[in-house]
Chains A and B, each alone.
Chain A
Amino acid sequence: MIVKKIGENIISPLGFTTEENYASVMAGRSALQREESLWGMPFPCVVSLIADPLLDADFAREIDTSRIPSYPLTKFEKVTLLSTVKALKSCKIDPSSERVLFLLSSTKGNVSLLASENIDIEMVTPSSTGQLVARYFGNPNVPVTVSNACISGLCAQIEAYRRIRSGQYDAVVVIGADVLSPFIVSGFQSLKALSDEQCHPFSATRKGLNLGEAAATVVYAAADESAGGWQMVAGAVRNDANHISGPSRTGEGSYLALQAVLQDSGLSASDLACLNVHGTSTLYNDDMESIAIHRAGLADVPVNAMKGYYGHTLGAAGILETLVTMRAVENGKVPATRGFETLGVAMPVSVTSENIDTEKFAFVKLLSGFGGCNAAAAFTCPSAAL
């Protein structure tokens, strides 16, 4: 039995389908914009925001309003539900089946509600949004929300993989989403993690990350060995056990996660079209990843990062970046690392400075996050090789 991708969607400032997003990335477009005083906050920043009018228009087209609550939904709830609905339109599963699980990935959900008066505190936790989505489709299972900092989107896919492999479910709908608010932006600013310019992953000139909004959905299902298309073949999470808000200087957790994924999948460096990394453009993250990549023997594998197109989309990142990479690799491409200038990380790695061709049909996705967590997963597309 394999775990096969059977449905997908991306909602981002670069498009409301995976196709539109892939085309934007290959054309080198970025959604990052400088804001001098976003929401009145006293500092400039560079962010990527989903335009409300576009979101509301697509939401009105796609959503059956008789199946949602009568109160006004938040932006977070809208992007989450819209992405799920669009992903499920593209695949043949019955979302009301008890054999289907809804699995959400989010770091902060509706946290922006805390700024309002007289709020229902129950609405703040992302698990409430998981319920909203499951109820929309009449799904009887308790929805599960992975909230594992910046690795949530990849960790949730690994969770889905295991729920299918163990026979618990036939299909899992994995939805990653986060939207920005003064809470999130000022928090990252207080940590001195933000750049006031567009980010430069893995570059000597990098000075911090940009934040972005997105929702992305991938649907995985059990399938026969002979089924074509993308499948997830291994996934691992490891902890640095070093610091709650800074990466390990030795790249320990990322290295251990990469090592486990290569061992479990049987893939080696020469099989990989690319290693799609976190590449936040903070000094410490990119250095750490370069060390982990070296230790895992992947220094010659093309490395690319997508933060220059989208910024860091938090709980959506692991799914969004996996889906765009799948679309690129199946088309024989590895996208450029937008914003990359002169290599400036602790260990030399092969960062893509332009879109390149590949003849390989496998890749590894890597992420790391606060709490010392790191995740890696391997994906292959055997049919594309035919």
Chain B
Amino acid sequence: MSYKVLHRVRLTSEYLELNGVRMGESQPEENFLTQLYRKFCIDYPKFFKMDVLCKVGFIASEVLLDAEGVERFVPRADRAVLLFNHHSSLHADQSFQQTIADPEDFYPKPSVFVYTLPNIVTGELAIRNRYHGESNFILLPYKSQDVMNQAVEAAFLNSGTASVLTGWVEALSDQNFESELLLIIKE
């Protein structure tokens, strides 16, 4: 099998790139992710409820899928969402832990707990884009393009999968994140 990378988005705490072209840079005193949300005129208020891992995956995928240039939000099951990172949902985990750390002030928050799974970001992308295809989240000891390529190859073995939205999404805090998402089709 051979594959073709249609588009590639790189989003870090400092900058956003689409296919190697700079699309935005972080400005001081403004949340970069909120800045990008407004810059790309996205109308999706659920964004503001998301944890930082989901926000990073969401913004990167919006730019990636707009670049595809086909009608969006049409229900489909032929596109898989397969994302990777190392630290899982660590930032949400730490936030939830704070709600239960003090026995005198024990108040576990459901709105935080739901984000303590790394695959929630794949669910957010599926909901936004009406993707009913495969969704999966894989943790690796470190970022390895070879290992991610093997997983993409395996994802294409699902008979219904024609394209894969894939890549690395890591977010340790609002100021420390890195994502590289690719849209890959089977040729």
Contact = CB atoms under 8 A, between A and B. Distances in A.
Nearest to B128: A241
B138 A182 contact: no
Contacts of A163: 150, 154
Interface string A150-169: 00000100010011011010
Contact of B147 (A128, A142, A192, A236): A142
Given A182-B100, A243-B127, A256 B132 contact: yes
B55 to A, nearest CB: 14
A191 B101 CA distance: 18
Nearest to A264: B159
A108 interface: yes
A378 interface: no
B150 A168 contact: yes
Interface residues on A, range: 35 or more
Contacts of A350: none
Interface string A232-263: 00001111111111000000110010001001
B140 A260 contact: no
Interface string B80-121: 010000111010011011001101001011100110111110
Contacts of A256: 77, 132
A238 to B, nearest CB: 6
A370 B141 contact: no
B131 A190 contact: no
Contacts of B130: 241
A41 to B, nearest CB: 7
Interface string A349-386: 00000000000000000000111110000000000000
- Of listed B103, B137, B155, residue having the most chain A CB within 10 A: B137
B133 interface: yes
A111 B123 contact: no
B66 interface: no
A191 B139 contact: no
Contacts of B113: 187-188, 190-191
Contact of A147 (B118, B132, B134): B118
A182 B101 CA distance: 9
Nearest to B157: A162
B12 interface: no
Nearest to B147: A142
Interface in A122-166: 124-128, 130-131, 142-149, 155, 159, 162-163, 165-166
B127 A260 contact: no
A131 B141 CA distance: 7
Contacts of B87: 121, 124-125
B59 interface: no
Given A115-B101, A165-B157, A168-B150, A238 B96 contact: no
B119 A125 contact: no
Contact of A238 (B86, B127, B133): B133
B163 interface: no
B185 interface: no
Interface in A179-202: 182-183, 186-192
B103 A373 contact: no
8 contacts: A115-B101, A148-B119, A149-B120, A187-B96, A237-B135, A237-B158, A239-B135, A372-B126
Given A130-B139, A237-B136, 5 more contacts: A127-B88, A130-B141, A162-B155, A187-B96, A241-B132
Nearest 9 CB-CB pairings of A with B: A371-B123, A162-B154, A187-B113, A145-B139, A190-B108, A127-B139, A186-B108, A239-B126, A371-B119
Interface of A: 40-42, 107-109, 111, 114-115, 121, 124-128, 130-131, 142-149, 155, 159, 162-163, 165-166, 168, 182-183, 186-192, 236-245, 252-253, 256, 260, 263-264, 369-373
